[in-house]
Chains A and B, each alone.
Chain A
Amino acid sequence: MSSATAIPSEIADVQWNGERLNYLNNGHGLKSWLLTKDHKRIAILYLISVSAFFILGGIFALLIRINLLVPQGEFPADTYDRLFTAHGVIMVFLFLVPAVPAILGNFLIPIMIGAKDLAFPKINLLSWYIYMLAGVILLYAIFAGGIDTGWTFYTPYSTSYSNSNVLLAGLGIFVAGFSSILTGINFIVTIHTMRAPGMTWFRLPLFVWAHYATALVIMLATPVLAITVSLMAIERVTHVGIFDPAMGGDPVLFQHMFWFYSHPAVYIMVLPAMGIVSELIANLSHKNIFGYKFIAMSSLAIGIFGFLVWGHHLFVSTQSVYLGLAFSFLSYVVAIPSAIKVFNWTATLFKGSISYDTPMLYGLGFIGLFLIGGMTGLFLAALGLDVQVHDTYFVIAHFHYVMVGGSLMGFLGGLHLWWGKMTGREYPEYWARAAMIIQFVGFNLTFFPQFILGYLGMPRRYASYPPEFQVLHVLSTAGASILGIGLGITIFYLLWSLKRGKRAAANPWGAPGLEWRTTSPPPTENFYETPVVTWEAYEFAPIETMEVLGYPGDPGRPTQPVHAEHGTED
């Protein structure tokens, strides 16, 4: 496995020369960024814009929690409706869907498979502009009157009764979908056609497998969302009866079509994060991942079975009970591939040489929180129990455990794992660990009480509640404040590290993937010469050779990279 040390020493040397040409200093000025076709720069554009929307969505979340501090509510009920809709629409369509694929996937997939760029660089840039257009439309819809339907836009309220900006929001979501589709096409074509010599399918990092499955889901599900919001717009404008029973339509049809997209969309949000967790568990356990093929295939299985479970959102609509039975069964089936992943990650940790650095903390956080989120999903997939907890805070807690505890934890873990690779600077380890622990505590304090609230019968989307629920709501709001502080610290030190962080080594984790065999940050062409892959995925070097890769003895503390004598700390 000596080939794992494939960074030529001459490149490792220039690594520490601040003047080395890389993708960040190859071209200056706004134009060089806004017209770039470099997948890495587009990923940075996405990082900036997606983060901005995440902060905005977070502010709306805090406003929701402030409202729920007191039983009668702080804001008028229709303002509250607009707040939670704004939070949902921004977080789902502008943060969770693009976060991991468009930022980390965009940046890493070509590097991980040894390509110079994605297959269609111009389409990649176009997808960012389409995303920004969707963002502007949705922002206008939110701030010029707001939307009060909830992010699910259920008919007939959205088509016949709501007086808010439903049409504009529908247009924004329609446009945002095309941005995802373009990214999905790009990933599929790139992974099929642009792998480096020797990079066979089963040598692909699991991050790439997860994104392949995600791209499949994006391409097959997103068009249905476009059709659904179009039909909603047609009914709202022309009053043709499609969904409104008063005009001869069928409101459950809307729910079928909406969830045909939106349930797989949950997998669009969590599958890439699972790919990240596979990477960081293997890389920070310094151990070949357990059950590579099972994890790879379970991504595809989740992608495919994820399409057959949408009806579990419709158990208390008038959906056929017989179909409900089938959907309940299939929802239990989709838990199997998710469990395969969790067991394989745990088995990877077993007897690994574990570094408790920030990415690993996020990885462990993901496993624990996703486990709770996933298992409570089974409660909801049970036909009988769902009648009790449907549309209560139990559902809210469940999907926040999956979306925040899963997707956000995975995203932040990946961002820390590859931060040095993306920016050329190290994040401060002490602050990062502290922030992660603060977020973990804040997150659980926010959402665990909501499981209890939901079980006791507190419905979602209500601006006021009976006084006996106040203790749990106050706990939840306190947790949200702590979570907000934790995320604020992360945003602060990541920005700080751009100027003040130590210069990142090429391979600080001693990892074997191709992205660690180029410099940090990579050159515009990603590699100095086309890599030829002669090793299996996750083939780690023996511990004793880690000194060569940048480990000063103790594999748990990767602080001083090799050639550090050239390093600058400015």
Chain B
Amino acid sequence: MSEHIVSKKTYYTVFLALLAGTALTVVMAFVNLHNWNIVVALLIAGAKASLVIAFFMHVKYSSKLTKMWVAVGFIWLFLLLAITMTDFLTRAWLVYKP
């Protein structure tokens, strides 16, 4: 677990990947994908966050228990966002007549 020593090479590789992600975000900001803008931005941000959690926060080298708790946190965040957004999407179905 915490005794695992990560090589400098891994850290630098992840750092470069994060920089590349940032550059990609900036580039994509100038491309108009309409409704997909937010999706692409969130995908890049999610990938970067996963790298930080896996390598910088050592979750990749941790016990299955730690991994499970990390996953549980995100599943709960997903529940909060998904169910609340479901309300927002379906709220008008009864009254909205196009």
Mark A residues whose CB is within 8 Å of B. Answer: 192, 216, 220, 224, 250, 252-253, 256-257, 260, 307-308, 311, 318-323
- A319 close to B76 (CB less than 8 A): no
Q: Which range holds the interface residue count of chain B?
A: 10 to 19
Map CB proximity to A onto B66-98 as digits: 1 under 8 Å, 0 otherwise.
000000110010011001101111110110000
Q: Which B residues between 32 and 86 are near A, CB-CB below 8 angstroms?
A: 65, 72-73, 76, 79-80, 83-84, 86
Shortest CB-to-CB span from B66 to chain A, Å, is: 10
CB pair B73–A311 under 8 Å, yes or no, is no
Q: In the docked arrangement, what's the CA distance between A505 and B65, Å?
A: 40
Known: A220-B76, A319-B87. 10 other contacts (CB 8 A): A192-B65, A224-B80, A250-B88, A252-B87, A257-B84, A260-B80, A260-B84, A318-B91, A320-B88, A323-B83
Contact: A321 with B94, CB < 8 Å?
yes
* Cross-chain contact B93 with A320 (CB below 8 angstroms): yes
Nearest Cβ on chain B to A334's Cβ, whole angstroms: 14
Contact call A307/B86, Cβ cutoff below 8 A: no
How many angstroms between the C-alpha atoms of A25 and B79 in the bound complex? 49
A220 touches B73 (CB 8 A): yes
Docked complex Cα distance between A320 and B84 (Å): 10
**CB-defined contacts of B84 to chain A, threshold 8 Å:** 253, 256-257, 260
B91 to chain A, nearest CB (A): 4
CA distance A320 to B65 in the complex (A): 37
Looking at the assembled complex, report how far the CB atom of A213 sits from the nearest CB atom of chain B, in whole angstroms.
Answer: 13
Residue of B at shortest CB range from A319? B87
A318 to B88, CA, bound (A): 10
Interchain residue pairs with CB less than 8 A apart (30): A192-B65, A220-B72, A220-B76, A224-B80, A250-B88, A252-B87, A253-B84, A256-B84, A257-B80, A257-B84, A260-B80, A260-B84, A307-B76, A307-B79, A311-B87, A318-B91, A320-B86, A320-B87, A320-B88, A320-B89, A320-B90, A320-B91, A320-B93, A321-B93, A321-B94, A322-B90, A322-B93, A323-B86, A323-B87, A323-B90
What chain A residues lie within 8 Å of B87 (beta carbons)? 252, 256, 311, 319-320, 323
- Interchain CB contact under 8 A, A308 and B91: no
CA distance A250 to B87 in the complex (A): 12
Nearest A residue (CB) for B84: A256
Q: Are A308 and B93 closer than 8 Å at their CB atoms?
A: no
Question: Which chain B positions have C-beta within 8 A of A252?
Answer: 87
- Hey, which chain A residues are within 8 Å of B91, CB to CB? 318-320
A221 to chain B: closest residue by CB = B76
The list of the 6 closest CB pairs from A to B, nearest first, reads A320-B90, A320-B91, A256-B84, A220-B76, A320-B87, A322-B90
A261 to chain B, nearest CB (A): 10
In the complex formed, the residue of A with least CB distance to B73 is A220
Q: Nearest A residue to B80 by beta-carbon distance?
A: A260
B90 — which chain A residues lie within 8 A by C-beta? 320, 322-323
Please measure, in the bound complex, the distance between the C-alpha atom of A216 and the C-alpha atom of B86, giving whole angstroms. Answer: 25
**A227 to chain B: closest residue by CB:** B80
Question: B residues within 8 A CB of A323?
Answer: 83, 86-87, 90
Q: Which B residues are CB-close (under 8 A) to A253? A: 84
Report yes or no: B86 in contact with A308, Cβ–Cβ below 8 A: no
The residue in A220, A224, A252, A308 that gathers the most chain B C-beta atoms within 10 A of its C-beta is A220
A307 to B86, CA, bound (A): 16
* Cα of A256 to Cα of B65 in the assembled complex, Å: 30
A335, B88: Cα distance in complex, Å: 27
A262 to chain B, nearest CB (A): 13
CA–CA, A321 and B87, complex, Å: 9
Residues of B contacting A257 with CB < 8 Å? 80, 84
The CA of A192 and the CA of B63, in the complex, are separated in Å by 12
- Min distance, Cβ B74 to any Cβ of chain A, angstroms: 11
Q: Report the nearest A residue to B79, measured CB to CB.
A: A307
